[in-house]
Structure 1
Amino acid sequence: MSTDVPAKPAAPRPTKRPNGQWKVDGTDPLNHNEEFKQEDNGLNVRRRIEEVYSKQGFSSISNDDLRGRFRWWGLYTQRRPGVEAGAHNSLPPEEVDDEYFMLRVRIDGGGLSTEQLRVVGEVSRDFARDTADVTDRQNVQLHWVAVEDVPEIWRRLEAVGLHTTEACGDTPRVILGSPVAGISADEVIDPTPVIREISDRYIGDPELANLPRKYKTAITGHPSQDVVHEINDCSLVGIDHPEHGPGYDLWVGGGLSTSARLAERLGAFVTEEQAAEVWHGVTRIFRDYGYRRLRNKARLKYLMADWGPEEFRRVLEEEYLGYALSDGPAPPTPNVPGDHIGVHRQKDGLNYIGAAPTVGRVSGTLLVQLADLLEVHGSARLRTTPFQHLVILDVADEHVAAVQAGLRELGLDPAPSVFRRSTIACTGIEFCKLAIVETKANAATAVGELEERLADVAEQMPQRLTLHINGCPNSCARIQTADIGLKGQLLPDGDGGKSPGYQVHLGGGLTSEQRDDPGLGRTVRGLKVTTEELVDYVETLVRRFLAERTAGETFGQWAHRADEERLQKEEVTAA
C-alpha cells in the first residue's frame, strides 16, 4: 500500500496582477520609484540640499535624490550639451544628465506682483544665465541652475512669497487658475479663495506627497473656461446653478502624453465652501486607488477609464466626503476666447492687457524691465496664463497706449498675429533630456516666416489657429488639442540616417478655443514633416483650409471632414 501523501492542489493563480492600489493591494512597493518614495518622503530632500549637496557639490548627490526626490522641490537635471537625440533610451542617465538643473518656480493661479516678478528676473539673471520661459502650466522655468546656488534662490523667492514646493514630482503640481480671476466683469465666480485655500492647506502636506504620478489641477470661474480643464486630473469650472447660485462643475481624469484622454464631468455641483474638501477627496482617491505598478499606467485618467464617472462620484461621496453632492448643469460653450489677448475692461474700470511673448521664451533681464514698465504706469501685478502669455492688470485708460508700446519694445506683443498669438512650444532638445527635436527656435522661426508668407490672407484668417510644437511624444505642449499639433520624431533621411521632424496631428481643440466639440486631433497615416518642411507644410495647409472652408467652419471642423489627401504635403494654388 502506498504511503505517499497526496499532493495538495496548486493554489489558483491570480487572474489579475496587482496594480499597486494601496486600498486594494496594500502598500508594498512594486517598483523602484515606489520604493524610494516610501523610504523617504520627497519633501525631506530639501534639508539635504541645504546642508549637504549645496556645500559638497553635484557629485555628492545620491541617485534617488538626484533623479527622484529633487523633483519634489522643482528641480530636474537638464540635458548635457552635445548628447544626441534619442540617446536617453540607450545611454545611462549619468551620461545624459548635465550638472545643472532646470528650476520651476511654482505660481498657483498665475498671480505675480511686480516685486515678485523682479525677484524672479534677478534670480534668472544672477543664477540661471538669464534664461526664463513662461510655461503652459503658468510657471516660470529657469535653466543652468547649480545646486550650490539653490538655497540662496529659495531664500530670495520665499522672501517675496514664491516657492518651488512640489513644482514637479509625484505630487499635486501647480494649480492652474483663471488669469483674470477677481477682475473680470463677466466671471461667474472668483476662484482665488479656493486656489489659496488648497495651496495653503495641502501643498507641501506629507500625506499627499506620495501620489502614483503627477497630479494636475485647474480652477476657473470665467465663462471662457480659460484653464484647459479637459486635460487636467481634477478641475473645477464655474457655473451658475439654477437653485444654488454660483459654484463649480467637477471634472476628473484628463491627461495627454502618449495616451490622451479628456476629463469627464461627474455631474456634481460643488459650492465654494465645498471646493477645497472635494479637491482633497479626489486627490486622496488618486493616492489610495491609483495604479502604481506601471509608471506609464499610473495617471488618474486610467482609473477613471476603468471606473467611469458614476463609480468615481460614488466613491468620492461615500468614502471620502461623507455626503452627497448636488447634481449640476454643464458649463455653457464659451463665446469668447480664453487666452485674454488684447485690451479688456476690468470690473473696477481699469484695464487688463494680454500680451504674447513668442512661444513663452523671455529672459530674466526682460522680466525686470517688465516690472519697471508696469510700475512706471501704475500697475503692480500681472498673471501668467496656460497659453504661455502674460496678462498685465490694473492699467488706467491714460496709460494703455504707453503700456502697449512698452510691451512691444520688450517683444511682448499685445496685438499679435494669429500665429504669434496661438503657437506654443515645449522646452525641446535644448534642455530636456526626453526631447528628440528642437522646439522653441523652430517655433519662433515658423511664426516669423508664416507672418510674412500669409500676409496676403491675413484678413481671412480666423481669430485663433493653434500651432503646438512638442519635442517628444509626451505632449507637454498639448499637441493633440491643437489645430495643428507637431510631435517630435526622428525621420529617415533617405541616406540611411535620421533627421529631426514631426508627426502631424490635426483638428484638436478645447472649449477655451471656443470649441463646442472639444476633442483630440486626427492623425493621417504617413503624414510627417521634417523641420525644413514645417513652414511650407503649414502654409500649404492653411491656404487649403481658407480655400475650402464653408461659412462659419473652423479649422478643426474642416480638418476632421477633409479627405486625407487634402491634408498631405502637396502644394496647392494659393487662395
Structure 2
Amino acid sequence: MTTTTDPSGRALRPPRAGRSNGQWAVDGTAPLNANEEWKQEDGGLNVRERIEQVYSKEGFASIPPQDLSGRFRWWGLYTQRKPGIDGGRTAQLDDTELSDEYFMLRVRLDGGALTLHQLRVLADISHEFARGTADISDRQNIQYHWIRVEDVPEIWRRLEEVGLQTTEACGDTPRVVLGSPLAGIAADEIIDPTPTIDEITRRFVGDPELANLPRKFKSAITGHPSLDVVHEINDVSLVGVVHPELGAGYDLWVGGGLSTAPRLAERIGVFVAPERAADVWLGVISIFRDYGYRRMRTKARLKFLMAEWGPEKFRQVLETEYLDAPLPDGPPPAPATGPGDHVGVHLQKDGNHYVGAAPVVGRISADVLTGLADLMAAAGTDRVRLTPHQKLVVLDVAPDRLDDLVAGLEALGLSVTPGPFRRHTMACTGIEYCKLAIVETKATAATAVAELERRLADVTASLDSPITLNVNGCPNSCARIQVADIGLKGQLVTVDGEQRPGFQVHLGGGLASADRGEAGLGRTVRGLKVTADELPDLVERLVRRFLDQREGGETFAGWAHRVDEEALR
C-alpha cells in the first residue's frame, strides 16, 4: 500500500506549474536558495582538509558558520545540543544558540558489518574521545557524542586504518547503505547483497559527482526473505526475488521516506540482475540529483518527485536516460517469512549459529563494545552486524560456544531472549544531544519498557504478534513513528496550564512483516496526546483494550484502523 498524503491527509502536490523547482535537468543549475549556493561554492567533501589542517589545531572557535552547520555533515559531524536548553526553546533559538562545542560523530557501517578488530577500535575511540558513549542507530550506524574537533583527525586515522569511515554519513549525500545482517550466511537467503553493497560503497561514496544532492539519499539492499531492511521507507531499495526465467536478482523500490510528510516507496516493476544492481542504483540517485526539487528543502526528497511522476514515468526516465538497456519486468517479493530483527539463536547454512541480541533502545557504551569484543574472541568468531532495528547479530558461533556467548551477552545487557517490549521498542537520540528534539526519548523509552514488561506480564502470551513502540523526540521521525503500532512524536503537552514533555500518538502503522503483511502508515486521533510520565499508562490501556476487542487473528494495526476514535483514547 502506498500513500501520497501527509499525516493530516493532505495530498503531496507538485509545486505550481510554470515555476522553477530548481531541477537541474529542467531549470539549470543556478542555485535558488542559500543552501544550494554554499554547496556549489565549496562542496562539503572539501571541508575535510580544513578540519585536519586548521580547525583541529586552532579549535572550535576557528570554525566559520557555513562549515560548522553545513559542510561538517559531509563527514558525519553535527554539533550536539547544549545542555540545559529545554524543549520549549528548540524552535525559538537558532543553530548557534542551540549548539554546544562538541559533536555527534556518525560512523557509517554499510551493511552493518563489523569485524572483531573494527569493533575493538570503535570501543577504544568511545573510551578515549566520546566519554564512553555509543548508540546503535536504526540505520546500522554507530553514533558517538562529546567529540572535540581537535580529536577528529586522530579518530579518522584509526577508523580508516581498519577500513571504516565517516564519509557522507550525513549531509545531502548517499548515506549508509542498509544491508541484511544475514548476508551470505542464511540458509534461506535468496541472494547475497554483499557484492552489490561493496561495489556501491567502493565506486560512489565520496564521489564529487554525487556529493551535491537535493537532500539526503537513503538506500537499502536485502536478499533475505524476512524483508529485514525496511525497504518501504528508503529512497531506493533492492529486494531479493527469484525471476521465473532469469533466476535470483532484485525488485526495485523507489521514493520512500517519513519525516513530516510520510510516503511509502513504490515498486518500479522491474527485475534487476545482480550484475546490473550497482548501475541501477546509480541511475536512481542520478535521477534524484538531476530532477530532484531544490527550490525548497522541505520538498527536496525523492518522494516528492515520485509523487509527481509515478513509477511508470520513473521507469521510463531511468531506462532511456540513465541505463544502457531496458530492464525486464519482474515479480514482487514474497510476503515476509519471519521477524526482520533476527533476535535469538538461529542456525546458519554452514552449521554454525548466529545470535541476535537486543540492547535497550539501541543505547550501548564503550564498556559494552569492549565486552562484546571479548565475548566474540572467546567464542572464536570474527564477525558481528548491526541491524536497522537497533539490534546486533553475532555470526559464526560454533554449537559448543553458544551457551557461554548467550550468558555473556545477557550479562552485558544484550538480551538474546528479550521481553516483547524491549525487543520491539526503538527510540531516537532525543533532547539529550539532538538540537531538533523537544523531549527526552532514550530514558523515557527505557522506563516505559521496564514498566510495560512488568505490568503486562499476564497478557504477554496472548500477543500473537508483536506490538512495536517507537519513540521520537520531534516531528522528523528518525525513530519511524508512522510505521509503528504505537508511534510517539515528541512535543510539549499542556496540563493544567503548564507545559510538560509529551507526545502526539500515531496508531496502527507498520512495515511488511510475517505478522502484519503489507506496510501501512499509522493514524492520528484528534487530541490524543500523552505526557512522558503517562506513557506506560497509555500503552497498557491500548494493549489491554486491543486484546479485549480484537476479532479473530486481527493484528494491533488492523484493530487500530478498524475501531472508532473513542476506543483509542
TM-score of Structure 1 vs Structure 2, range by shorter chain: over 0.9
SS in 2 for 1:95: helix
SS in 1 for 2:458: helix
How far the C-alpha of 1:155 sits from its partner, in A, is 0.6
Inter-CA distance 189–117: structure 2 relative to 1 (3 Å threshold): same
Letter of the 2:501 partner, please give it: P
Match of 2:473 in 1: 471
Q: Which of 30, 33, 39 is 1:31 aligned to?
A: 33
Letter of the 1:437 partner, please give it: V
Letter of the 1:515 partner, please give it: R
Please tell me whether residue 534 in structure 1 is matched to residue 539 in structure 2.
Answer: no
SS in 2 for 1:399: helix
Match of 2:526 in 1: 525
SS in 2 for 1:503: strand
Where do 4+ consecutive residues of structure 1 move more than 4 Å?
none
SS in 2 for 1:326: coil
- Cα distance in 1 between the residues matched to 2:131 and 2:19: 48
TM-superposition CA deviations, 1:392-412 (whole Å, max 9, x none): 100111111111100000000
TM score, norm. by length of structure 2: 0.96
TM-superposition CA deviations, 1:227-284 (whole Å, max 9, x none): 0000000000000000100000000000000000000000000000000000000000
How far the C-alpha of 1:551 sits from its partner, in A, is 2.2
Match of 2:501 in 1: 500
Please tell me whether residue 396 in structure 1 is matched to residue 413 in structure 2.
Answer: no
SS in 2 for 1:307: helix
The 5 Å alignment of 1:504-519 reads 504-512=505-513, 514-519=515-520
How far the C-alpha of 1:15 sits from its partner, in A, is 5.2
How far the C-alpha of 1:22 sits from its partner, in A, is 0.3
Match of 2:420 in 1: 418
* Contact 2:252/2:268, CA 8 A, preserved across alignment: yes
Please tell me whether residue 59 in structure 1 is matched to residue 61 in structure 2.
Answer: yes
How far the C-alpha of 1:546 sits from its partner, in A, is 1.2
TM-superposition CA deviations, 1:140-198 (whole Å, max 9, x none): 00000000000000011111110100000000000000000000000100000000000
Letter of the 2:147 partner, please give it: V
Match of 2:4 in 1: none
Structure 2 portions without partners, runs of 5+: 1-15
How far the C-alpha of 1:493 sits from its partner, in A, is 2.3
- Cα distance in 1 between the residues matched to 2:465 and 2:117: 34
How far the C-alpha of 1:514 sits from its partner, in A, is 3.7
Match of 1:311 in 2: 313
Structure 1 portions without partners, runs of 5+: 1-13, 569-575
SS in 2 for 1:27: coil
TM-superposition CA deviations, 1:457-492 (whole Å, max 9, x none): 121123421000000000000000000000001111
Letter of the 1:533 partner, please give it: E
SS in 2 for 1:357: coil
* Contact 2:56/2:153, CA 8 A, preserved across alignment: yes
* Contact 1:464/1:513, CA 8 A, preserved across alignment: no
- Cα distance in 2 between the residues matched to 1:392 and 1:134: 14
My pick for the range that moved more, 385-394 or 513-522, is 513-522
* Contact 1:407/1:414, CA 8 A, preserved across alignment: yes
* Contact 2:337/2:513, CA 8 A, preserved across alignment: no
Inter-CA distance 513–298: structure 2 relative to 1 (3 Å threshold): farther
- Cα distance in 2 between the residues matched to 1:451 and 1:434: 30
- Cα distance in 2 between the residues matched to 1:169 and 1:289: 18
Aligned residue-pair number: 554
How far the C-alpha of 1:445 sits from its partner, in A, is 0.3
- Cα distance in 2 between the residues matched to 1:400 and 1:74: 36
TM score, norm. by length of structure 1: 0.95
The 5 Å alignment of 1:67-216 reads 67-216=69-218
Match of 2:5 in 1: none
- Cα distance in 2 between the residues matched to 1:324 and 1:158: 38
- Cα distance in 1 between the residues matched to 2:210 and 2:28: 17
The 5 Å alignment of 1:359-398 reads 359-398=361-400
- Cα distance in 2 between the residues matched to 1:93 and 1:155: 29
Q: Which of 242, 264, 267 is 1:265 aligned to?
A: 267
Match of 2:258 in 1: 256
SS in 1 for 2:49: helix
SS in 1 for 2:127: helix
Letter of the 1:236 partner, please give it: L
* Contact 1:124/1:132, CA 8 A, preserved across alignment: yes
* Contact 2:235/2:302, CA 8 A, preserved across alignment: yes
* Contact 1:86/1:435, CA 8 A, preserved across alignment: no
How far the C-alpha of 1:86 sits from its partner, in A, is 4.0
SS in 1 for 2:561: helix
Inter-CA distance 77–513: structure 2 relative to 1 (3 Å threshold): farther
- Cα distance in 1 between the residues matched to 2:250 and 2:322: 19
- Cα distance in 2 between the residues matched to 1:109 and 1:92: 35
- Cα distance in 1 between the residues matched to 2:131 and 2:561: 44
- Cα distance in 2 between the residues matched to 1:464 and 1:508: 13
How far the C-alpha of 1:518 sits from its partner, in A, is 1.1
How far the C-alpha of 1:507 sits from its partner, in A, is 0.6
Inter-CA distance 69–86: structure 2 relative to 1 (3 Å threshold): farther
- Cα distance in 1 between the residues matched to 2:223 and 2:283: 21
How far the C-alpha of 1:515 sits from its partner, in A, is 2.6
How far the C-alpha of 1:84 sits from its partner, in A, is 2.2
- Cα distance in 2 between the residues matched to 1:30 and 1:360: 39
* Contact 1:238/1:331, CA 8 A, preserved across alignment: yes
Percent identity between the two aligned chains: 68
- Cα distance in 1 between the residues matched to 2:121 and 2:41: 35
- Cα distance in 2 between the residues matched to 1:370 and 1:86: 39
* Contact 2:44/2:74, CA 8 A, preserved across alignment: yes
Q: Which of 273, 277, 280 is 1:278 aligned to?
A: 280
SS in 2 for 1:511: coil
SS in 2 for 1:218: strand
How far the C-alpha of 1:337 sits from its partner, in A, is 1.1
SS in 2 for 1:391: strand
How far the C-alpha of 1:417 sits from its partner, in A, is 0.5
Cα RMSD, aligned residues only: 0.9
Inter-CA distance 191–514: structure 2 relative to 1 (3 Å threshold): farther
SS in 2 for 1:392: strand
TM-superposition CA deviations, 1:316-361 (whole Å, max 9, x none): 0000003110000111111211110101100010000110000000
- Cα distance in 1 between the residues matched to 2:511 and 2:257: 13
Inter-CA distance 33–274: structure 2 relative to 1 (3 Å threshold): same
Match of 2:324 in 1: 322
* Contact 2:465/2:515, CA 8 A, preserved across alignment: no
Letter of the 2:258 partner, please give it: L
The 5 Å alignment of 1:198-237 reads 198-237=200-239
Q: Which of 345, 349, 352 is 2:347 aligned to?
A: 345
* Contact 2:335/2:514, CA 8 A, preserved across alignment: no
SS in 1 for 2:374: helix
